[in-house]
Amino acid sequence: MMDIESSDCTVAIGRPLGEEITVHILESSLNCSAGEVVLFSARMMWRTGCRKLTLSLINSRTNTLIVKQRVLLPGNGVILQYNSRTATKKYYQDCDKQLFGPQGEIVNPVQLPHQRQEVVCRTFINVAPRHRIAIRALHVDLGNESNQTHFNYILVRDVNTMKTMVFHGKQEFFWQSTGSQAEIEFHENFKDHRTSFWAKYHAIEPK
């Protein structure tokens, strides 16, 4: 991430669920007194720095990592090397899904027989940096809203702002994020096969 014309540069790294990412900082020429900085962020980690970066190690603890660099002087920046490995701690449920790429489909998870009923299943969506995510729900049927015994709903979270929206019943919707990451939580009675959800997402290119 050196000799880049833009003062702000972002790199997104993604691996399958069950892996974690390790970044080695091989070289850094950031000018700390000028306000130059590099930021590492993941679902379970946030770290920023400038001084004494060379030869340090960053661990994402999950399968995705965002690296943001801000430089003010020409030619400055960092050189990183990353690799992935099986995560040391399990940070996801067996019913969770990870979606990458500019477009795709989102469906409600299917609960396996051995899974606990109270498990919340999630779908993680990551697109390219500076892009946003648009989700259009094409079929939503979360059962009878008057059934208070098993209250089913879907929660959509904008990771950039951490704001959430909740959808119930048969409410089709169109939703947009402010950043390149989104999460969907399925709070459902999965043994009730009458509940179903189908949506499509696509990345919105920056203006």
- Domain harbouring 74, CATH code: 2.60.120.290
Same domain? 73 vs 132: no
- The per-residue pLDDT for 196 is 84
Query: CA-CA distance, 11 to 106, in Å (whole number)?
Result: 25
Does the structure show a pLDDT above 90 at 195?
A: no
Same domain? 101 vs 181: yes
Kindly state the tokens that stand for 24. 């080695």
- Residue-wise pLDDT tens digits, 12-62: 999 999 999 999 999 999 999 999 999 999 988 999 999 999 889 999 999
Does the structure show a pLDDT above 80 at 146?
A: no
Same domain? 16 vs 64: yes
Is the Cα dihedral 30, 43, 159, 136 positive or negative?
positive
Same domain? 200 vs 114: yes
Same domain? 101 vs 197: yes
Same domain? 48 vs 108: no
Q: What is the mean pLDDT of the chain?
A: 89
* Domain containing residue 51: 7-86
Same domain? 116 vs 196: yes
Domain edge (last residue) among 86, 120, 152: 86
- The per-residue pLDDT for 115 is 60
Query: CA-CA distance, 170 to 167, in Å (whole number)?
Result: 8
Judge whether 92 lies within some domain: no
- The per-residue pLDDT for 149 is 47
- The per-residue pLDDT for 69 is 96
Domain edge (last residue) among 54, 86, 118: 86
Same domain? 80 vs 103: no
Kindly state the tokens that stand for 127. 């697109």
Q: How many domains are contained in the chain?
A: 2
- The per-residue pLDDT for 46 is 93
Q: Quote the Cα angle for 20-88-129, to 5°.
A: 15
How many C-beta neighbours within 10 Å does residue 160 have? Answer: 14
- Residue-wise pLDDT tens digits, 90-140: 999 988 999 999 999 999 887 666 666 667 899 999 999 999 999 999 988
